Amino acid sequence: MAEAVQQAMIDSADDSVFDSAVRVDAVFYMRKPRTVTRQYPQTPPDIDKICRSLLDSISKGGVWVDDALVVELHAVKTWAVNEPGVVVTITAI
């Protein structure tokens, strides 16, 4: 995931690094098995585990000095309509 973070930074042409408090919004799009009829993805991976992985990957990708800068975190797991993945927005506060 760290490589994807680095590629996103290259694609955005923004190589600035956060060095103060940030808010992270993340929407995780999960693959929905054909036999599942539940409205929400209430199965593993746990949202706290994927958030930890995401924040660690963002750190390794060089987006911020340290993930301790994250003072607000809003995360959602939902079913993917197309491909699974994550959409992340990082905002300085």
pLDDT in tens, 2-11: 677 777 777 8
Q: DSSP state, 56?
A: H
Which alpha helices (DSSP H) does the chain contain, by range?
A: 2-12, 47-60
Peptide bond into 45 cis (omega under 30): yes
The answer to whether 73 and 90 are in contact (CB under 8 A) is: no
Q: Where are the domains of the chain?
A: 34-93
Point out the residues of the chain with pLDDT beneath 70: 2
pTM of the model: 0.88
User: What local confidence, expressed as pLDDT, does residue 11 receive?
Assistant: 80
